[in-house]
Structure 1
């Protein structure tokens, strides 16, 4: 839900009533100290207040409230828990007021959730009582319209900002009904439907009856529409028009669209007229006391609160809202970089818009700017800091694809980019140029091509052979990536693909079946390579690296393969021109090492590798960006000798396991979306298990990811023909442990031939009316684990109902043979609970 602070539509009586009720609830429940979250519902017609729920702990909204007000709720709760009282705790921001002073806001805060329904195309996008967002953004402004528009462009989604192009013709009754129907449904796009409906001519009354959003907010959205009309119809784009636009949160891009101009032209006019933002400070007291902590947001007022400084500054661009493919792992790198650069004597400047992150704590960096990560907004922060003192440059390679996408424009605008340069970033993404780097190094890549049209893609696929892997350029998290098995499926993909151009073609690669995928995180300073870790994926190639479990050190890679990986990593780092972190994905098939892709930036595995090997890769990368070398950092942030590719045999085994959100997403018919893994990332988090051996480490990873494997009972097995031989040994081990096995016709026949006792069960579409199917057994709770490993398009479709029923009934589901084999090795550990619990420091000793 979109959230606003302070509450703008409550009367003072309602506000005070909720305050009194909240205190009464806290006392009645018996919360002596600490944080507490209470949710109310208020009837806007009668003022009746209902308590929805109360949580005697800090919550997700506690983090938001902390960022919105500058009052660190969790920190205060911890101090209260050890005996402090509020009047004994100083306010970190003012340094003179106690924590017993409740925060006061002289600005408006808007939080908007970030959804990724594109990762689950079959999912019903209707918002319900089940949380479906995977992240959020927050924006601050001097009024609601500014905060709302800033938050919308912070989402980093196509068409996230309000637009006035191609408005619906609501004079047509059918169109009018269609628009009102869209407004009546709670979806992620509802606010756009409201804005476009009002702009097209619907009355506020019609819209209110369709959605029942408070009339005050509808009036504010209509005000934005009126300002848009004023911008569009003005005789010229003068200072007054620009100031009105900016005081209501319009970006240069929106103004340009309304005036049919290039965005750069609007920016140039605005700068020439000296219409630039100033930066205000979050101070918890609405200006009553001076703020000592620089926590800033932009405003088109007259007076800036950015203070001059003496030390040179480094600006670090954060990762923006969490989403599938770009989550909190990148914030880890940004935070550690901030620590390292600060310790090196520089002033650290953080720019981010995500209230869930550590990077947006007011005490992480020397200065925090809570701003959208767009070119316009980042340039204004740079301009403000340049006026305050020397700026050494901007770090773009730690926050994922968001800041990486800004590097070219920033450098072209004269901003010094630290670390890996935009040219290297583009080279790694350009198939032709990167192919040349590989060719010079004697490295192999899967046969590939780039296509702009469907016919080009089909010709490439015919030449290199099916199956092929197709994906757009410049994406993170495998978005839009698909394994295609035939021409028909390829043409369907090309028909649905968007944003294809000569600058952003579709990439077509030969898909390597039965390959082992390898992930490498490394550092390069221009002379020396330091490999942080060589991770072996547990699932076979074709499962996105973010969804695949992986192990470090590798289990099955020989020294010959590891040495080839080391040499290949150095050749790519030198050829691309990396200065800092580099992630490379290799695949080994038939003893041939293939390079899948290289990303000259921090990857999502940096935190895992750093913790598994006791090194601080992100800190080291940040210092390399400001001129240090790997040799300088050895013995401190990095190992004194060797690196993560030369770990001793007795080094602890670490396993990274993905956390998957399938249960939260249902189709329109109410079924769980398909939980099959593939090349498009779907996990929303990850966990790590560590121990002396792989089975125990893997067991810890499964338990950490809330996958509770059974220690007895019945296992259902359905495996594709190509994998039937490989399934025999793990199934036999299950039987030896006392499990009963039921299987589909083909799988049961193979297992029976190997002397494994198996009960045959029908698939849902094979059974007669009187037969019980696997779906019936799952619903009845008589199956304790499901192994469903399909191959190819039709088999995946056939097994969907089984996978959906398993997920809906909370039955552990495994969809790859490699994970099945790994899980079986861990079952004995889980059954006997043989866990050696130690601190990470002890494992690192």
Structure 2
């Protein structure tokens, strides 16, 4: 568990509004999208805390839950204050929540006074249900029967001097009446559409999805619709007061979305623009009677549910890696032995590859399966054959009633095995055969038709030996949408918004022959995450991105690296290439570096290979070796300008020396490559371009 410290580690935040601290705190915890129902009475109670004192003394993200658990167990506020040094005022508020939790448990059935009090202190229906061993739906029905309903309040921007008149809204159970009128003739006549936002920024969900929400709202407003945005992230553009007709600073949960939907009575709700969080709500919202605009919830489920989607691909005779739904460890082992390792473990309904893992041997299989099953207990885990050495390709598209309107194809620099959010993406695709492009378009047409897609969608492919296989299909806007819209000069989200509300949109043929190249590169924050291994894999790690244009691929790539803060090496480069395959593939690049005048240093195995193949270098001993000259010493003294560490995929997480090398490079701010294809492209770029060769043009000049 990471400790909180003076060094910032968070990548996002939420803002919760309530009329008491208890209410706002519980709202905020739900907004974080970390799988909790509130401060107490969670469906998943998490780990047992055997040492409460130690867990409270250590400032970790879990500490607030540990303090609540301690109070539930009878630990005194003064004791917790002594352990944590947190102001007793806050501890008394947490005790209030714990006290209500105890009261509800004792009651054993819903009671008007307790349910009202709990709702006023921020309890969700699910929490109350957990305490009474009943469903959230039963609590909801009890509330409605007893007229315990949320009220809408305007955020007071005038410090109570005058009545506030804003479109900033929140819901609370602490009040007497709504601040706005829902039943006016003007309100009932309005053509209203709700757009669900993207929630807090985190690894996997950032400003890209907010861009999609904002562009959707702007497009709808131009078309005469009143837009209602729900989001809880104060950093976003979507939570600016002038981006929508009404802004609810609220949780993106089924309970709260239904509350607002029932008050506003809009034409429907758009869930496909805010990323995975709103997408995950679609099925439950639809079952509760909420009208989902665009692709239907049942079709979203057919794409998100790994088992259903794999079955669909089989029905359509669309190639995919060999797969099997994983119901137990024995079947998983049998499948792995049948197709051969490595295999990929894939949970359903997740963003950024959460709990997705490549398994290379049987001894690791059980741990990875448990991790994947825990991340989403409601949907199955699927295991597939992992194909090594394949290129990864993405298609982003818009469809209306199953007909493809527009699409863009991009390719990854890195081979498959690197999460798409961490990959370096090139547009237009550079190394794809015409036959491959044709296959991709045909698959997109088939899936758009079969899933009756209306709105944005994204398909990820593997390509090897001119054959493609589908990895996954997301029936929502992907994080690449802002990038491809800017590069193609066609706002695909505006197109999708029009399609979703039923406007007839003519298909637009995108010209794949551009006079320029654009590259989207990831931005990492490993320097702030002490101890984290800075290596790329199927689970996303990046916290941001940049995009740059150039006249050639090499120019665009070099610009994008520089935009992330990367420094071009001046003199000394360290190579650590694991395995003869990686060493052989990088040999030509190593020779180019020698010809350019760089001094190469290498680990013993790599050094021997380079010397045998006429690439002069000097040997450095691994960090674990005490003999000089040592890698650690050279890094600490600033004698290395760039580290290229390529490990065999199978052993990348199991070789301590490789980890120590990568970590030391990050800790001493030495630029680092851990991917072979990216390193090769970098060498090609610096061997053909100098800094003075990089052109500076405005976006409009790229036509």
Is TM (by shorter chain) over 0.5? Answer: yes
Alignment partners' CA distance in 2, 1:337 and 1:166: 34
Alignment partners' CA distance in 2, 1:524 and 1:783: 50
Cα RMSD (Å) = 2.1
Question: What is the aligned partner in structure 2 of residue 60 from structure 1?
Answer: none
Question: What is the aligned partner in structure 2 of residue 304 from structure 1?
Answer: 178
Give the superposition deviation at 1:127.
Answer: 0.4
Inter-CA distance 164–293: structure 2 relative to 1 (3 Å threshold) = closer
For the pair 1:642 / 2:516, whether they are aligned, the reply is no
Deviation per residue, 1:485-528 (Å, 9 max, x gap): 11112123234444388852222111111111001100111253
> Which of 415, 425, 428 is 1:553 aligned to?
428
For the pair 1:338 / 2:194, whether they are aligned, the reply is no
Question: What is the aligned partner in structure 1 of residue 17 from structure 2?
Answer: 140
Question: What is the aligned partner in structure 1 of residue 521 from structure 2?
Answer: 657
Inter-CA distance 165–398: structure 2 relative to 1 (3 Å threshold) = closer
Inter-CA distance 533–130: structure 2 relative to 1 (3 Å threshold) = same
Alignment partners' CA distance in 1, 2:108 and 2:441: 63
Give the superposition deviation at 1:298.
Answer: 0.8
Is residue 467–residue 511 contact of structure 1 (8 Å, CA) maintained in 2?
A: yes
Is residue 149–residue 249 contact of structure 1 (8 Å, CA) maintained in 2?
A: yes
Question: What is the aligned partner in structure 2 of residue 681 from structure 1?
Answer: 540
For the pair 1:393 / 2:268, whether they are aligned, the reply is yes
Question: What is the aligned partner in structure 1 of residue 637 from structure 2?
Answer: 780
Question: What is the aligned partner in structure 1 of residue 385 from structure 2?
Answer: 510
Give the superposition deviation at 1:655.
Answer: 0.2
Give the superposition deviation at 1:432.
Answer: 4.5
Query: Is the partner of 1:520 in helix, strand or coil?
Result: strand
Alignment partners' CA distance in 1, 2:378 and 2:131: 26
Give the superposition deviation at 1:257.
Answer: 1.2
Give the superposition deviation at 1:412.
Answer: 1.2
Alignment partners' CA distance in 2, 1:177 and 1:236: 31
Is residue 306–residue 384 contact of structure 1 (8 Å, CA) maintained in 2?
A: no
Give the superposition deviation at 1:831.
Answer: 3.8
> Which of 473, 480, 484 is 1:605 aligned to?
480
Kindly report which structure 2 residues correspond to 1:21-100, keeping only aligned pairs within 5 A, or say none: none
Alignment partners' CA distance in 1, 2:594 and 2:199: 49
How many residues end up aligned between the 2 structures? 693
For the pair 1:733 / 2:607, whether they are aligned, the reply is no
Alignment partners' CA distance in 1, 2:98 and 2:308: 46
Give the superposition deviation at 1:288.
Answer: 3.1
Question: What is the aligned partner in structure 2 of residue 812 from structure 1?
Answer: 671
Alignment partners' CA distance in 2, 1:221 and 1:501: 28
Alignment partners' CA distance in 1, 2:689 and 2:103: 67
Alignment partners' CA distance in 2, 1:593 and 1:164: 47
Kindly report which structure 2 residues correspond to 1:149-548, keeping only aligned pairs within 5 A, or say none: 149-159=26-36, 161-164=38-41, 178-234=51-107, 236-300=109-173, 301-307=175-181, 308=184, 309=187, 310-386=189-265, 391-499=266-374, 503-548=378-423
> Which of 666, 679, 692 is 2:551 aligned to?
692
Alignment partners' CA distance in 1, 2:310 and 2:27: 40
Give the superposition deviation at 1:290.
Answer: 4.1
Deviation per residue, 1:455-512 (Å, 9 max, x gap): 1211111112111111222211001111111111212323444438885222211111
Give the superposition deviation at 1:177.
Answer: 8.0
Is residue 714–residue 782 contact of structure 1 (8 Å, CA) maintained in 2?
A: no
Is residue 532–residue 609 contact of structure 1 (8 Å, CA) maintained in 2?
A: no
Deviation per residue, 1:23-63 (Å, 9 max, x gap): xxxxxxxxxxxxxxxxxxxxxxxxxxxxxxxxxxxxxxxxx
Alignment partners' CA distance in 2, 1:436 and 1:184: 50
Give the superposition deviation at 1:770.
Answer: 3.6
Alignment partners' CA distance in 2, 1:160 and 1:807: 37
Is residue 348–residue 376 contact of structure 2 (8 Å, CA) maintained in 1?
A: no
Which runs of 5 or more residues in structure 1 are unaligned?
1-123, 169-174, 635-640, 667-671
> Which of 788, 791, 812 is 2:648 aligned to?
791
Inter-CA distance 786–459: structure 2 relative to 1 (3 Å threshold) = same
User: What's the TM-score once normalised by structure 1's chain length?
Assistant: 0.79
Alignment partners' CA distance in 2, 1:776 and 1:270: 67
Inter-CA distance 430–235: structure 2 relative to 1 (3 Å threshold) = closer
Question: What is the aligned partner in structure 2 of residue 12 from structure 1?
Answer: none
Alignment partners' CA distance in 2, 1:176 and 1:322: 29
**Larger displacement relative to structure 2 (823-832 or 331-340):** 823-832
User: What's the TM-score once normalised by structure 2's chain length?
Assistant: 0.95
> Which of 692, 696, 703 is 1:837 aligned to?
696
Query: Is the partner of 2:621 in helix, strand or coil?
Result: coil
Deviation per residue, 1:387-446 (Å, 9 max, x gap): xxxx11000111111111111111111111100111111111334443343345442101
Is residue 711–residue 830 contact of structure 1 (8 Å, CA) maintained in 2?
A: no
Give the superposition deviation at 1:190.
Answer: 0.9
Give the superposition deviation at 1:291.
Answer: 3.6
Inter-CA distance 186–241: structure 2 relative to 1 (3 Å threshold) = same
Give the superposition deviation at 1:287.
Answer: 4.0
Is residue 717–residue 743 contact of structure 1 (8 Å, CA) maintained in 2?
A: yes
Alignment partners' CA distance in 2, 1:697 and 1:176: 51
**Larger displacement relative to structure 2 (196-205 or 175-184):** 175-184
Is residue 196–residue 270 contact of structure 2 (8 Å, CA) maintained in 1?
A: yes
